[in-house]
Chain A
Amino acid sequence: DAGITQSPRHKVTETGTPVTLRCHQTENHRYMYWYRQDPGHGLRLIHYSYGVKDTDKGEVSDGYSVSRSKTEDFLLTLESATSSQTSVYFCAIARGLAGGGETQYFGPGTRLLVL
């Protein structure tokens, strides 16, 4: 358990509305990530953060923005939701390994349906 929570866990919204998903961690990890998971595509990186106010784009960042004003919170915003953004969204943190390197731990996910 890496102390990651996501909210909401489920959301239904309409096309064109803004949506914000929240990821909260309790272990003060520097690196945080947002992924989406879709059938046939696996997990794809949307955005990631390497510290407060430091973020960068992943491979599928179009239509999404992020913010990190505190170490513990990483927000993902869909400025104007589209049906193609219906997906399951996962937040992750990176934790160092005892022998060097690091690995990622995932939150429970948010299921988003855009009608």
Chain B
Amino acid sequence: TQLLEQSPQFLSIQEGENLTVYCNSSSVFSSLQWYRQEPGEGPVLLVTVVTGGEVKKLKRLTFQFGDARKDSSLHITAAQPGDTGLYLCAGSVGTSGSRLTFGEGTQLTVNP
């Protein structure tokens, strides 16, 4: 059974600060996805990383997949109140019809 540990579980920061969320496992994943979820809605896909060492940028968000494909990080620069939400990482071990293993999530609150 693959497990994904996400940290921190809760994060409350001021607008303009930077932050990093971590997603770690002892298992190797073929791909890793990051989602953002707002109250009352389903998770919305932010990015998928598939290559060890890969770095993807989405405006102020930077995602990195570890070289060994066992861990990932999400870095947000100059956080804004609109970034508030639950951030989830999820790993897949296959390439087709795979089951996702989810971390428990990081609840981010950005205060104005």
Partner-B contacts on A (CB < 8 A): 30-31, 33, 40-45, 48, 50, 58-59, 90, 94, 96-97, 99-109
A41 to B105, CA, bound (A): 9
Contact B99 A102 (CB under 8 A): no
Q: Is the interface of B mostly helix, strand, loop or mixed?
A: loop
Tell me, in angstroms, the Cα distance from A56 to B104 when the chains sit together. Answer: 23
Chain B residue contacts of A58, Cβ below 8 A: 99
Seen from chain B, the residues whose Cβ lies within 8 Å of a Cβ on chain A are: 1, 30-31, 33, 35, 40-45, 48, 50, 88, 90, 92, 95-100, 102-105
B95 touches A100 (CB 8 A): yes
Min CB–CB distance B47 → chain A (angstroms): 9
> Using a Cβ cutoff of 8 Å, how many contacts connect chains A and B?
67
Task: Across the interface, name the chain B residue whose C-beta is closest to A4.
Answer: B42
> B100 contacts which chain A residues (CB < 8 A)?
33, 43, 45, 104
A50, A90, A100: the one contacting B97 at CB < 8 Å is: A50
B45 near A105 (CB under 8 angstroms)? yes
Measured between alpha carbons, how far is A36 from B102 in the docked complex, in Å?
Answer: 11
User: Once the chains are docked, how many angstroms separate the CA of A59 from the CA of B3?
Assistant: 12
Known: A100-B95, A102-B98. 18 other contacts (CB 8 A): A31-B96, A33-B99, A40-B104, A42-B102, A42-B105, A94-B97, A96-B96, A97-B50, A100-B50, A101-B30, A101-B92, A102-B92, A102-B95, A103-B31, A103-B48, A103-B92, A106-B44, A109-B40
